[in-house]
Amino acid sequence: MSNNSKYWVVTDLDGTLMDENYDISPAKKTLELLSELNIPVIPCTSKTASEVRYFRKENGLFDPFIVENGSAVYGFNASRSSEWELILGKSYKELRNILKNISNTLNFHLTPLNDLNQNQIFELTGLKEQAIIRALDRHWSVPFLNPPDEIFEKVKLICDNYNVHVFKGNRMSHLLSSNSHKGEAVNKLKVYLNNKDVRIIALGDSQNDLPLLEYADISIVVPGKNGPNKYLQNGIDKNLFRLADAPHARGWSNSVEDVIRNLKDL
């Protein structure tokens, strides 16, 4: 990827580019168009680096990628022979301890994803075998089962004491360092690639995408089948975020093509 791109598409994967079956096929044509226009597509996801490396290979993407909700950023050098890494977060081990302390304070057991057995993970995620191994390869964040809303609100308050924060995705919540979120990771990547003027077209569907959507220049909320996520509604109401006209990859595609059509300086 060149260091002087004018635009980056920075996109969440689960629920945004992918539907609940991890299908992105309605967006394939738009991904090809972006590649022809030399607009980088940067995955920005709660998934692990192992998962995103696999996803990129499957879908012919070569640009940098942001993982574990903004805790780390990866990319390849120009010859694609070696990978670089930027770390924003706290280690998995440290975060596990903090999650345990929060559970104790609340007297409510917050269950890490990595403590579930293969069947339970399949039930929650639909993932199997190698895909589960990739999903559990965590280094900078701890995903845990979504607690009830009132517990989640209490967790948020306690987090301040430990310099961590939590984000709620579709299938699970994520604990990570308060120095890391999706918006901060994009900023770090801009600095690293020495491209402070690049304009960010961001797409997301959940609460964990809020820092990305707030950071971006053009922010698109991709709805689910029952409409947009409640945590993103406020930004839509205030006209800070655009709302895609269809769920997942279809809405993703329509919105990205609409934005590109209206860019004067491509």
Q: Does position 68 bind Mg ion by CB under 5 A?
A: no
Nearer to Mg ion, 23 or 83 (CB): 23
Nearer to Mg ion, 1 or 166 (CB): 166
Q: Does position 15 bind Mg ion by CB under 5 A?
A: yes
By residue count, the chain amounts to 266
Shortest Cβ 15–Mg ion spacing (Å): 4
Are 133 and 121 spatial neighbours (Cβ–Cβ below 8 Å)? no
Identify any residues that bridge with 145 across adjacent strands, giving them in sequence order. 172
Residue 223 DSSP SS3: coil
Are 25 and 18 spatial neighbours (Cβ–Cβ below 8 Å)? no
Number of residues that bind Mg ion (CB under 5 A): 5
In the range 83-142, which residues lie near Mg ion by CB under 5 A?
none
Nearer to Mg ion, 1 or 24 (CB): 24
Strand ranges, E, within 55-214: 65-67, 72-76, 83-87, 142-145, 164-168, 172-177, 199-204
H-type alpha helices, 108-209: 118-125, 129-135, 149-159, 182-192
Q: Does position 205 bind Mg ion by CB under 5 A?
A: yes
Instruction: Give me the amino acid identity at 188.
Output: K
Q: By beta-carbon distance, which residue lies closest to Mg ion?
A: 15
Identify any residues that bridge with 220 across adjacent strands, giving them in sequence order. 203, 242
CA distance 253 to 266: 18
Out of 1, 7, 11, 12, the residue judged to bind Mg ion by CB under 5 A? 12
The region of 2-10, 147-155, 198-206, 218-226 touching Mg ion under the rule CB under 5 A is 198-206
The region of 11-19, 51-59, 117-125, 134-142 touching Mg ion under the rule CB under 5 A is 11-19
Shortest Cβ 14–Mg ion spacing (Å): 4
CA distance 79 to 62: 11
Shortest Cβ 22–Mg ion spacing (Å): 12
Q: Does position 19 bind Mg ion by CB under 5 A?
A: no
Shortest Cβ 205–Mg ion spacing (Å): 5
CB-count burial class (<10 Å; 0-12, 13-18, 19+) for 224: middle
Nearer to Mg ion, 90 or 168 (CB): 168
- Edge-to-edge strand ranges of the sheet holding 142-145: 142-145, 172-177, 164-168
Q: Does position 206 bind Mg ion by CB under 5 A?
A: yes
Nearer to Mg ion, 30 or 45 (CB): 45
Q: Does position 254 bind Mg ion by CB under 5 A?
A: no
Nearer to Mg ion, 61 or 222 (CB): 222
CA distance 8 to 4: 10
Out of 7, 8, 9, 14, the residue judged to bind Mg ion by CB under 5 A? 14
Residue 17 token pair:
């580019």
Nearer to Mg ion, 1 or 168 (CB): 168
Q: Where along the sequence are the contacts to Mg ion (CB under 5 A)?
A: 12, 14-15, 205-206
